[in-house]
Structure 1
Amino acid sequence: MPEKKPRKSKAAGRRRRKPAGASTGLLATELQAAPPPGEVADLHRTIEDDGGKALALYREPYGGRWVVLAALPIEKVEPTPYQRNLSDTHVRKLEAVIGKLGRFLDPIIAVRAPEGQPARYWTPNGHHRLSAMKTLGAKSITAIVVPEAAAAYQILALNTEKAHNLREKALEVIRMYKELTCLDGATEETYALEFEDPAFITLGLCYEERPRFSGGAYHPVLKRVDGFLRGHLRAALETRRTRAQTLLALDDLVVQKVEALKAKGLTSPYLKSFVVARINPVRFRPKEAEPLSFDEALDRMTKAAGKLNPEKVRIDDLARSGGAPDESG
């Protein structure tokens, strides 16, 4: 019998991406080679009028866009109002590290807050660092101040502090979405980068109504059937609310089936994911088949959930299903 060759792991066979063949961006000597445009000079003056200090004006090296490295009065900086809630564990860790090192070396990103807001500056990606510095009693915080106000909505793309889970992503997106409905001409496709995934919008509404909603069980389906809607955000929001209610109604039915399985003696962290997988109409759908719309998919899932007989489910079926444990929050 021929000797079997050891299988290579996927990680071992994965190659690092090669650097781009042609260089791009600016040379180090070019970052301050030109005078800043008027709006950046105005931002410089505004920062100093607010009691801050502009430390440097320069163009960032990749896209060549102007930014201001500044020290801002810490009491005048707040997180954008649609960010996820703070992680106390992460904040305490940052407090300990900053306190132990005696240095703050990771500037936050900031933009000017809209007129009428209590804070003068918003940070879309420095909530935890800002909170830690405030707790430690810092008087100021260093920030890269971006002139473009749109950066405030690019939370998911800019956030490098702590990986978002699905619930945090969805809640940030729906909070941002509602804020943007006041802008003329705003559509979901206009802010596709900021929203990242159309399913986050629908799931965000579900999480707002039901904080312990198990969005992870439904996300694989929604990624296949929930696209960005056309039309102004105000009108699209009503469609999103209808979709969220449809999904929550399906979840009520799924929960009934899960409880019936538990009553039968099946106890597993995968029960809800198992039920959703059994009623998923796109799981084994041929690639050449016409894609299902959101309404079609949810209608099929609701009918399939109604027909699912817990008495016919065996423990072997559950063991073979695998998958991620159901979310608890």
Structure 2
Amino acid sequence: MKPFGQHPDGKAFPKAVSALGEQVEADGGRVLAVYQEPVGDHWQLFCLLPMKQVEPTPYQRDLSPTHAKRLTDVVKKIDRFVDPIVAVSPRPGVYWTPNGHHRRSALDKLKAEFVPAILIPEADVAFQILALNTEKAHNLKEKSLEVIRMYKGLAEERPKTSEEDFAFQFEAPHFITLGLLYEENRRFAGGAFAPILKRVDKFLKGKLPDTLLTRQERAGKVREADAALAVAVAALKKRGINHPYVKNFVLARTSPLTRARKTLPSFDQTFDKLTAAIRGFDPAKVRYEDIQRASVFAAPAGD
């Protein structure tokens, strides 16, 4: 490698770090410094990576065109790029950024040849997207889609691992189930079902390929409840009751979890009872004022 800065001075760093630095140079990039970060003393590289070889991880949430354009305009206005991306390298010639998708896009739009990056030798960091990615706050849909993409990737790459092994990366079990639903329908009312899912959806024991099948079954039960909910909402709208809180209102009235109880029913029991209750819901007994009053105390969750 060409000369570069180092911290701490004179301290030997692992061969894997040296090999990664040589890879960067061979790929047409440039290592500027090798250092130990101040929290866990892990070795990292600060470098310039060739733009054409940097891409978001396969598990990344979708790019927000609005945020990307705003960021591009700001960088162009100040005529300076000051916020390096985080990157890992799954193989030579390829660099993934779990934290920097929008910044990479901005540089690409501005026709930059290189991307300033903090390159982490441990490629596993790519699976810590949710914990690292603070560039733009996730909404429920983005989190869920990102988690299910990670989940499926891990099920293929590490089939002997379990959900609990990646509890930190997944953050919460209901994101997995919702991710399957959002994959099928980007307009799914996840915000309405999230309060129920948070209480009864737990991390599953077993290997990821097996638990993925269980997750698909759980998503099917939520989908069945949503279909019943759509019928109830349509009946209310037919009566002239059209309110943004209407789905949440029906779920609040039919949820089997409304009363405090020492033990919660299982996931399957909860959604079987919920679906049956929604199907038995009587729209004729609801007034617009009821929904309006309820919405004051509980704003609808975003999707």
The one-letter amino acid of 2:21's match is H
CA distance in 2, matches of 1:258, 1:33: 69
CA distance in 1, matches of 2:51, 2:7: 31
Task: Encode CA deviations 1:205-246: one digit per residue, 9 max, x unaligned.
Answer: 001111110000011111100000111100000000011011
Q: Which of 287, 291, 294 is matched with 1:321 structurally?
A: 294
Q: CA deviation at 1:184?
A: 3.8
Counterpart for residue 41 of structure 1: 18
What does 1:91-110 correspond to in 2, within 5 Å? 91-110=68-87
CA distance in 1, matches of 2:299, 2:65: 25
Sort the Cα spacing of 1:31 and 1:220 in 2 relative to 1 into closer, same or farther, 3 A: farther
Task: Encode CA deviations 1:56-88: one digit per residue, 9 max, x unaligned.
Answer: 111110111111111000100000012111111
Is residue 135 from structure 1 mapped to residue 109 from structure 2 by the alignment?
A: yes
Is residue 269 from structure 1 mapped to residue 248 from structure 2 by the alignment?
A: no
Q: CA deviation at 1:30?
A: 6.8
Q: Is the 8 A contact 2:159 2:209 kept in 1?
A: no
Q: Is the 8 A contact 2:49 2:115 kept in 1?
A: yes
Q: Which SS does the other structure have where 2:187 is aligned?
A: coil
Is residue 248 from structure 1 mapped to residue 223 from structure 2 by the alignment?
A: yes
Q: Which SS does the other structure have where 1:234 is aligned?
A: helix
Q: CA deviation at 1:320?
A: 2.3
The one-letter amino acid of 1:65's match is H
Q: Which of 117, 121, 124 is matched with 1:150 structurally?
A: 124
Is residue 221 from structure 1 mapped to residue 196 from structure 2 by the alignment?
A: yes
Q: Which moved more, 1:30-39 or 1:186-195?
A: 30-39
CA distance in 1, matches of 2:70, 2:263: 50
* Residue ranges of structure 1 left out of the alignment (5+ in a row): 1-28
- Paired residues, number: 295
Q: Which SS does the other structure have where 1:98 is aligned?
A: helix
Counterpart for residue 71 of structure 1: 48
CA distance in 1, matches of 2:7, 2:126: 27
Q: Which of 148, 154, 160 is matched with 1:180 structurally?
A: 154
CA distance in 1, matches of 2:219, 2:277: 19
- Deviation >6 Å, runs of 4+: none
Q: Which SS does the other structure have where 1:251 is aligned?
A: helix
Task: Encode CA deviations 1:169-192: one digit per residue, 9 max, x unaligned.
Answer: 000111111111121421100111
Q: Which SS does the other structure have where 1:191 is aligned?
A: helix
Q: CA deviation at 1:291?
A: 2.0
Task: Encode CA deviations 1:226-272: one digit per residue, 9 max, x unaligned.
Answer: 00011110000000001101101110000110111111111111111
CA distance in 2, matches of 1:49, 1:35: 22
Q: CA deviation at 1:326?
A: 6.6
Q: Is the 8 A contact 1:111 1:147 kept in 2?
A: yes
Counterpart for residue 170 of structure 1: 144
* Residue ranges of structure 2 left out of the alignment (5+ in a row): 1-5
The one-letter amino acid of 1:185's match is K
Sort the Cα spacing of 1:319 and 1:32 in 2 relative to 1 into closer, same or farther, 3 A: farther
CA distance in 2, matches of 1:156, 1:277: 29
What does 1:287-306 correspond to in 2, within 5 Å? 289-306=262-279
The TM-score with structure 1 as length reference comes to 0.86
CA distance in 2, matches of 1:208, 1:244: 11
Q: Which SS does the other structure have where 2:165 is aligned?
A: coil
Q: Is the 8 A contact 1:32 1:57 kept in 2?
A: no
Q: Which of 81, 85, 92 is matched with 2:62 structurally?
A: 85
Q: Which SS does the other structure have where 1:93 is aligned?
A: helix
Q: CA deviation at 1:306?
A: 1.4
The one-letter amino acid of 1:242's match is E
Q: Is the 8 A contact 2:54 2:96 kept in 1?
A: yes
Q: Is the 8 A contact 2:191 2:300 kept in 1?
A: no
CA distance in 1, matches of 2:240, 2:265: 35
The TM-score with structure 2 as length reference comes to 0.94
